[in-house]
Amino acid sequence: MPLATLSDVLVPARDRGYAVAGLVCLGWEDMRAFVAAAEAEDAPVILQAGPSCREHTPLPVLGAMMRHLGERASVPVVVHLDHGYTMDECRIALDSGFTSLMYDGSRKPLAQNIDETAAVAALAHGAGISCEGEIGFVGYADGAASDGTDPGEAARFARESGVDAMAISVGNVHLQQNREGGLDEARIRAIEAVTDIPLVIHGGSGVPVAQRTHLARTSAICKYNVGTELRMAFGAALRDAVTRDPKRFDRVSILKETHDPVEAAARAVIRGMGRV
Ligand code: 13P
């Protein structure tokens, strides 16, 4: 299956009433398990390289690994830069074979966020790939507080930036380890009333699964970013594998044992995206 752009997978998702999982990758083991999960569920998937992933592994290496998996997959795979903070970083991702760029100008004043995101969207579109932007600010558990998306600003951002998908702040918070949060459905409805752009929810780990599915089916939310939930599954599997046999030292034999539990956790996430 050829690699896909964000628009390739999100437009059908919006039109047919489901969402696509944007799964946060930290390395070869998890990205491989995520593609296996998507194939098992016969669903498209978005492999995401965020800031902590790129701090550990350079973008050209990540691009090559993700493309290697995507080019051989039986389902559409998007190779996505998550939270790009500079034009330079976005250019390197483009040159590294990414098929989608997120530019995050959400901490900047509206006009600056629009201008900078529009420049990244133009770069992406010129190369035949997609761009995601963020309006409003999605905060962090035990960190910066959120700033909810204003529907009027969202409509202007979507129109003037030219992005293919728009991340919004509607009660979602990054890095939550439980699913006790919930999204503000009234704010989502107010946003989708003024724009028809596919919407993205960051901090998907904190959203109750029933709400993820319900909104995937009934709203313009077409992409949930999920990281923490899967990192927890990976961490638990790794801890088990390391401690089960204290004599074992070969890392490949240890890491191999993370594959099945991480694939199972990713399959559960993908099943919650509302596809029938
Ligand atoms: P969580 O780690 O909270 O699921 O968020 C992931 C995310 O939004 C990455 O952009």
Tell me how far the alpha carbon of residue 202 lies from the centroid of ligand 1, in angstroms. Answer: 5
Is residue 175 lining ligand 1, measured as CB closer than 6 Å? yes
Which residues is 23 bridged to in the sheet? 47, 226
2: pLDDT strictly greater than 90: no
Domain ranges, ordered by start, for the chain: 6-271
Ligand 1 in contact with 205 (CB < 6 A)?
yes
Residue 248 to residues 253, 261, 262: CA-CA distances in angstroms?
A: 8, 20, 21
CA of 230 to the centre of ligand 1 (A): 10
- Strand 199-201 versus strand 100-103 pairing type: unpaired
Q: What CA–CA distances, in Å, run from 124 to 37, 63, 106, 128, 254?
A: 28, 15, 19, 6, 39
Residue 250, both tokens: 């070969």
DSSP H or E segment with residue 65: helix 59-72
Q: What is the mean pLDDT of residues 88-95?
A: 98
Place of tokens 């077409």: 222
pLDDT digits (tens, 9 = 90+) for 26-59: 999 999 999 999 999 999 999 999 999 999 999 9
Nearest CA-CA partner of 128 in 14, 6, 223, 23: 6
Report CA(151)–ligand 1 centroid distance (Å): 22
**What would the pLDDT profile of 207-224 be if each residue is shown by its tens digit?**
999 999 999 999 999 999
Q: How far is the CA of 218 from the centre of ligand 1 (A)?
A: 22
Tokens of 42: 């016969």
The runs of H, that is alpha helices, within 98-227 are 110-126, 151-161, 185-192, 209-218
pTM over cut 0.75: yes
Gap between the Cα atoms of 11 and 49, Å rounded: 22
47, 142, 174, 211: which to mutate for ligand 1, most atoms within 8 A of CB?
A: 174
The string of pLDDT tens digits covering residues 139-191 is 999 899 999 999 999 999 999 999 999 999 999 999 999 988 799 999 999 99
User: Which residues are CB-neighbours of 38 under 8 A, at least 6 positions away?
Assistant: 21, 44, 45, 73, 75, 77, 266, 270
Which residues are known to be catalytic?
82
* Ligand 1 within 6 A of CB of 202: yes
Q: Indicate the pLDDT class of residue 195, thresholds 50, 70 and 90.
A: very high
Place of tokens 């901090």: 203
Domain spanning 6-271 has what CATH number?
Answer: 3.20.20.70
Q: What is the rounded CA–CA span in Å between residue 91 and residue 69?
A: 22
pLDDT at 19 (0 to 100): 98
Contacts for 259 with CB less than 8 Å, ≥ 6 apart = 29, 32, 33, 36
Task: Please report the atom of ligand 1 found closest to the CA of residue 138.
Answer: 8
Does the C-beta of 228 come closer than 6 Å to ligand 1?
Answer: yes
Query: Helices in the chain by DSSP H: which ranges?
Result: 6-16, 28-41, 51-56, 59-72, 87-95, 110-126, 151-161, 185-192, 209-218, 228-244, 251-256, 259-271
The DSSP call for residue 127 is T
Say whether pLDDT at 276 is over 90. no
Amino acid 180: pLDDT: 80
Structural contact between residues 100 and 135, judged by C-beta atoms closer than 8 angstroms = no
